[in-house]
Chain A
């Protein structure tokens, strides 16, 4: 912990900025962005062959499978990094739900009012606590529930016979597919919102630059 804090200090001294997103996290994030974009595109193609024709169904399935495995591997990159990093505190649950949800609604109020008034952000971004309550709850759900459930159901459908026992245990192939598609729907909604929220930094490009360089963009 001490060593890492010293690292932060050294990096901050060197650049004069807060080092928010270490390289493994940035690497994971952009690979994930690319992977999920391809998964959503191929997922649309698999599900709606009768509506549009970006590629053949066969190509879409093959690409979906390969990219799916890459995204699962990428998830483990994220997981292992945070497992052995003190930055895992970013994903720690808040033990005081009442206080958490007070801050949650304060953040929602900021986005819907204070943001337009030029108010200060209610949550101060720090390397070990970089997510505001709305982000934290969303990312906890996405990374610990949605993504693993999507991976698991995707794996089951990738090789139905291999996972036949598991599929039957959860209620059949149609249940597995329904859950997979529900997660897909959530991701579609999440990604659109996520891309937009990325523009809500000090400048529209601030958060995007941060996710490339790793350093928090300076406040005016």
Chain B
């Protein structure tokens, strides 16, 4: 014990003497204790990892000195560096494993933000073993952590690192253009949103979660509900059953998503529910794998609702754009879809593509293909009871009955007149 104290004291003293000239030469780059670390880590150190890759251990003292973490120094995060036993010979399996380990380190100071992150779709992807899902350092970097303001310019960073195609769509959207042109989007000079304004920065939410994104839009467009009510019949229902982007990204392809929903609990049905998962039930019902037809959809809903009466399953329909990229191509208000005929007619673009979805624990949806005819089938009156667009999803059987009524109605006078003529001719002949 005494030996180690002496050893550390000597080490610190030596280090102080060694780094003293450097700190006086470049006072901005790093604090004195950190300079001790940088003495080695400013060199091209590297460590072989168990997965065969190499981890470079060189740190830019200048970058770190300008980062917000400069004040806490190296040991603020690297508390686990064993005193007197550094460099450690402990193996590191992979860079990813090392990042995941230090993801928890961040929570020691940023507990609230870390809790937010844990609720995010990113964290759930990490938990599911997705190695591409971001941890703290993927967005904030490891040693060049910058102030929040740095992320605010419309540069797309850090989101565009993974979501480049979506960012490109955003950059050309009414929001992206307004932001890059000095926020001239509205007379009130409200700032046009960047990624985090809609998707949040740490508790990044799956946009497919029921009403989340619509509510986000309405946070800024607080007059939208009233504005729609002025011209759009059943505006509230439209805003519930049609995603904002379905009309405000006019060039996008659309689809109808039928989400399994528990009427009793008023929440989307979870993938794991009762005995087995819905995915296995779906695969069992749609054994042919050719997409769910109306009868199979009805079976799915009935089976879900039979579970001891604890679940009352239905399918909640919603028109939405088919890709995340399309969802970000938001156009100026004047270019939004205004014509009712766009949806309210047979063969409309939005009804040609139908999916059935189940909610994943993180709010994302697992989608399954369905036959587009489910929207026009009389069998769907029960299973797709909540979704109906006059004209667009009309039931074909009723079309047949209408033709029958027209033909039958016309057959009465025609038949009666013909009968009269026949009887009169018969009477004359007699």
Contact A161 B237 (CB under 8 A): yes
Residue in A48, A157, A188 whose CB lies within 8 Å of B405: A188
Contact A175 B381 (CB under 8 A): yes
Contact A172 B314 (CB under 8 A): yes
Which of A1-9, A58-66, A82-90 contacts its partner?
A: A58-66
With both beta carbons as reference points, the residue of chain A lying nearest to B375 in the complex is identified as A174
Is B357 among interface residues, defined by CB-CB distance under 8 A? Answer: no
Which of B87-95, B187-195, B416-424 contacts its partner?
A: B416-424
With both beta carbons as reference points, the residue of chain B lying nearest to A164 in the complex is identified as B237
Residues of chain B contacted by A51 (CB below 8 angstroms): 346
> Chain A nearest CB: distance from B294 CB in Å?
12
Residues of chain A contacted by B240 (CB below 8 angstroms): 161
Contact B395 A50 (CB under 8 A): no
Contact A174 B345 (CB under 8 A): no
Is B398 among interface residues, defined by CB-CB distance under 8 A? Answer: yes
> Chain A nearest CB: distance from B25 CB in Å?
70
With contacts A56-B340, A159-B234, A178-B381 taken as known, whether A173 is within 8 angstroms of B386 at the C-beta atoms is: yes
Residues of chain A contacted by B394 (CB below 8 angstroms): 47, 181
How many A residues touch the partner, as a band? 35 or more
Contact A171 B340 (CB under 8 A): no
Contact A112 B419 (CB under 8 A): yes
Residues of chain B contacted by A34 (CB below 8 angstroms): none
Is B152 among interface residues, defined by CB-CB distance under 8 A? Answer: no
Is B384 among interface residues, defined by CB-CB distance under 8 A? Answer: yes
Residue in B381, B405, B410 whose CB lies within 8 Å of A185: B405
Distance, CA A58 to CA B381, complexed state (A): 25
Is A160 among interface residues, defined by CB-CB distance under 8 A? Answer: yes
Residue in B387, B402, B427 whose CB lies within 8 Å of A188: B402
With both beta carbons as reference points, the residue of chain A lying nearest to B422 in the complex is identified as A116
Distance, CA A157 to CA B238, complexed state (A): 12
* Secondary structure class of chain B's binding surface, majority of residues: helix
With both beta carbons as reference points, the residue of chain B lying nearest to A184 in the complex is identified as B402
Contact B386 A182 (CB under 8 A): no
With contacts A161-B234, A188-B406 taken as known, whether A174 is within 8 angstroms of B391 at the C-beta atoms is: no
Contact A47 B390 (CB under 8 A): yes
With contacts A174-B381, A174-B385, A189-B405 taken as known, whether A116 is within 8 angstroms of B423 at the C-beta atoms is: yes
Contact B401 A49 (CB under 8 A): no
In A53-107, which residues have CB < 8 Å from any B CB?
56-58, 61-62, 65
How many B residues touch the partner, as a band? 35 or more
In B321-347, which residues have CB < 8 Å from any A CB?
339-341, 344-347
> Chain A nearest CB: distance from B327 CB in Å?
25
Interface centre among B344, B382, B408, B419 (most CB of A within 10 A): B344
Distance, CA A158 to CA B372, complexed state (A): 26
Contact A174 B380 (CB under 8 A): yes
In B217-250, which residues have CB < 8 Å from any A CB?
233-234, 236-237, 240
Distance, CA A185 to CA B387, complexed state (A): 22
Contact A186 B346 (CB under 8 A): no
> Chain A nearest CB: distance from B385 CB in Å?
2
> Chain A nearest CB: distance from B342 CB in Å?
9
Residues of chain A contacted by B424 (CB below 8 angstroms): 116
Type the 1/0 row for A125-150, where 1 means its CB is closer than 8 Å to any CB of B.
Answer: 00000000000000000000000000
Contact A116 B419 (CB under 8 A): yes
Residues of chain A contacted by B378 (CB below 8 angstroms): 178
With both beta carbons as reference points, the residue of chain A lying nearest to B391 in the complex is identified as A49
**Residues of B at under 8 Å CB distance from A?**
233-234, 236-237, 240, 263, 314, 339-341, 344-347, 378, 380-382, 384-388, 390-391, 394-395, 398, 401-402, 404-406, 408-410, 412-413, 416, 419-420, 423-424, 427
Can you pick out 8 interface pairs between chain A and chain B where the beta carbons lie within 8 Å of each other?
Answer: A57-B341, A57-B344, A112-B419, A115-B420, A159-B234, A174-B384, A185-B401, A188-B409
- Minimum-distance CB pairs A-B, first 3: A172-B385, A192-B409, A189-B405
